[in-house]
Amino acid sequence: MVVHGDAIDVLERVVEDESVHLVFADPPYNIGKSFGEFRDKWPADKAYAEWCYQWLDICLRKLADDGSLYVMTSTQAMPYLDLWLRDRCSVQSRIVWHYDSSGVQARRYFGS
Ligand SMILES: C[S@@+](CC[C@H](N)C(=O)[O-])C[C@H]1O[C@@H](n2cnc3c(N)ncnc32)[C@H](O)[C@@H]1O
Protein backbone atom coordinates (compact mmCIF):
# COMPACT_ATOMS: atom_id res chain seq x y z
CA MET A 1 0.00 0.00 0.00
CA VAL A 2 1.35 3.43 -0.86
CA VAL A 3 0.03 6.36 1.17
CA HIS A 4 0.78 9.85 -0.10
CA GLY A 5 0.90 12.49 2.62
CA ASP A 6 2.84 14.10 5.42
CA ALA A 7 4.81 11.31 7.09
CA ILE A 8 3.93 12.38 10.62
CA ASP A 9 0.22 12.52 9.88
CA VAL A 10 0.12 9.31 7.85
CA LEU A 11 2.19 7.24 10.25
CA GLU A 12 -0.04 8.24 13.17
CA ARG A 13 -3.32 7.70 11.33
CA VAL A 14 -2.67 4.66 9.17
CA VAL A 15 -0.12 2.49 10.96
CA GLU A 16 -0.94 0.55 14.11
CA ASP A 17 1.43 0.77 17.06
CA GLU A 18 3.89 -2.15 17.46
CA SER A 19 2.83 -3.65 14.13
CA VAL A 20 5.83 -2.97 11.89
CA HIS A 21 8.82 -5.28 11.41
CA LEU A 22 10.94 -3.03 9.23
CA VAL A 23 11.04 0.74 8.84
CA PHE A 24 13.27 2.13 6.10
CA ALA A 25 13.31 5.93 6.20
CA ASP A 26 14.86 8.12 3.51
CA PRO A 27 13.87 11.59 4.72
CA PRO A 28 14.98 14.98 3.46
CA TYR A 29 18.58 15.62 4.65
CA ASN A 30 18.45 19.38 5.23
CA ILE A 31 20.93 20.00 2.41
CA GLY A 32 18.90 22.40 0.27
CA LYS A 33 17.80 20.00 -2.46
CA SER A 34 14.50 20.73 -4.23
CA PHE A 35 11.78 18.09 -4.63
CA GLY A 36 9.06 19.81 -6.68
CA GLU A 37 7.61 22.49 -4.41
CA PHE A 38 9.39 21.12 -1.36
CA ARG A 39 12.84 22.52 -0.54
CA ASP A 40 14.94 20.38 1.74
CA LYS A 41 16.20 23.15 4.04
CA TRP A 42 15.25 24.02 7.61
CA PRO A 43 16.12 27.41 9.19
CA ALA A 44 18.61 25.72 11.54
CA ASP A 45 20.10 22.27 12.21
CA LYS A 46 18.25 22.14 15.51
CA ALA A 47 14.89 22.73 13.81
CA TYR A 48 15.66 19.93 11.37
CA ALA A 49 16.66 17.60 14.19
CA GLU A 50 13.48 18.42 16.12
CA TRP A 51 11.42 17.50 13.06
CA CYS A 52 13.31 14.21 12.71
CA TYR A 53 12.76 13.41 16.38
CA GLN A 54 9.01 13.74 15.81
CA TRP A 55 8.78 11.13 13.07
CA LEU A 56 11.48 8.91 14.57
CA ASP A 57 9.53 8.82 17.82
CA ILE A 58 6.45 7.68 15.91
CA CYS A 59 8.47 5.09 13.96
CA LEU A 60 9.81 3.58 17.18
CA ARG A 61 6.28 3.32 18.56
CA LYS A 62 5.10 1.58 15.41
CA LEU A 63 7.86 -1.02 15.52
CA ALA A 64 7.10 -4.51 16.79
CA ASP A 65 9.32 -5.84 19.60
CA ASP A 66 11.62 -7.54 17.11
CA GLY A 67 11.38 -4.72 14.56
CA SER A 68 14.29 -2.93 12.86
CA LEU A 69 14.73 0.64 11.75
CA TYR A 70 17.02 1.78 8.93
CA VAL A 71 17.47 5.55 8.68
CA MET A 72 19.26 7.30 5.87
CA THR A 73 20.79 10.63 6.76
CA SER A 74 23.50 13.09 5.77
CA THR A 75 26.94 13.13 7.37
CA GLN A 76 26.07 16.51 8.88
CA ALA A 77 22.83 15.32 10.49
CA MET A 78 24.12 11.95 11.65
CA PRO A 79 25.31 13.07 15.13
CA TYR A 80 21.89 14.49 16.02
CA LEU A 81 20.05 11.34 14.98
CA ASP A 82 22.66 8.91 16.28
CA LEU A 83 22.74 10.38 19.80
CA TRP A 84 18.96 10.57 19.97
CA LEU A 85 18.48 7.00 18.76
CA ARG A 86 21.15 5.61 21.06
CA ASP A 87 19.07 6.74 24.05
CA ARG A 88 16.00 4.91 22.75
CA CYS A 89 17.06 1.75 20.98
CA SER A 90 20.03 -0.41 20.29
CA VAL A 91 22.12 0.81 17.33
CA GLN A 92 23.65 -2.28 15.75
CA SER A 93 25.62 -0.71 12.93
CA ARG A 94 26.26 2.37 10.89
CA ILE A 95 26.39 1.73 7.17
CA VAL A 96 28.47 4.18 5.18
CA TRP A 97 27.79 4.61 1.51
CA HIS A 98 31.19 5.10 -0.09
CA TYR A 99 30.80 6.70 -3.50
CA ASP A 100 32.42 9.27 -5.70
CA SER A 101 29.80 12.08 -5.32
CA SER A 102 29.03 11.71 -9.05
CA GLY A 103 32.44 13.09 -9.96
CA VAL A 104 32.03 16.25 -7.88
CA GLN A 105 34.91 15.98 -5.44
CA ALA A 106 36.01 18.58 -2.94
CA ARG A 107 39.35 20.05 -4.08
CA ARG A 108 40.34 22.30 -1.17
CA TYR A 109 39.07 20.28 1.79
CA PHE A 110 38.27 16.72 2.76
CA GLY A 111 34.86 15.67 1.42
CA SER A 112 32.44 13.44 3.28
C1 LIG B 1 15.80 11.99 0.22
S2 LIG B 1 14.25 12.07 -0.61
C3 LIG B 1 13.75 10.40 -0.69
C4 LIG B 1 13.62 9.93 -2.08
C5 LIG B 1 13.09 8.50 -2.21
N6 LIG B 1 13.92 7.54 -1.50
C7 LIG B 1 13.01 8.13 -3.68
O8 LIG B 1 13.83 7.32 -4.13
O9 LIG B 1 12.17 8.72 -4.36
C10 LIG B 1 13.16 12.72 0.63
C11 LIG B 1 11.69 12.77 0.19
O12 LIG B 1 10.86 13.12 1.31
C13 LIG B 1 9.79 13.92 0.86
N14 LIG B 1 9.23 14.64 2.01
C15 LIG B 1 9.59 15.87 2.49
N16 LIG B 1 8.86 16.19 3.57
C17 LIG B 1 8.03 15.14 3.81
C18 LIG B 1 7.04 14.87 4.77
N19 LIG B 1 6.76 15.76 5.75
N20 LIG B 1 6.37 13.71 4.72
C21 LIG B 1 6.65 12.81 3.73
N22 LIG B 1 7.58 12.99 2.78
C23 LIG B 1 8.27 14.14 2.81
C24 LIG B 1 10.45 14.80 -0.20
O25 LIG B 1 9.48 15.33 -1.07
C26 LIG B 1 11.40 13.80 -0.90
O27 LIG B 1 10.73 13.16 -1.95
Identify the pLDDT of residue 68: 98
Q: Which residue has the higher pLDDT, 55 or 103?
A: 55
Question: Pseudo-torsion of CA 108, 81, 83, 9, nearest 10°?
Answer: 160
Identify the pLDDT of residue 101: 64
Three-class DSSP category at 7: helix
| pLDDT (tens digit per residue) in 7-22 | 999 999 999 999 999 9
Identify the pLDDT of residue 103: 62
CA of 108 to the centre of ligand 1 (A): 31
Nearest atom in ligand 1 to the alpha carbon of residue 28 is 10
The rounded mean pLDDT for the chain is 92
Nearest atom in ligand 1 to the alpha carbon of residue 6 is 20
Query: In CATH, which superfamily holds the domain spanning 7-92?
Result: Vaccinia Virus protein VP39 (3.40.50.150)
DSSP H helices in the chain: 7-14, 45-62, 78-86
Residue 59 has pLDDT above 70, yes or no: yes
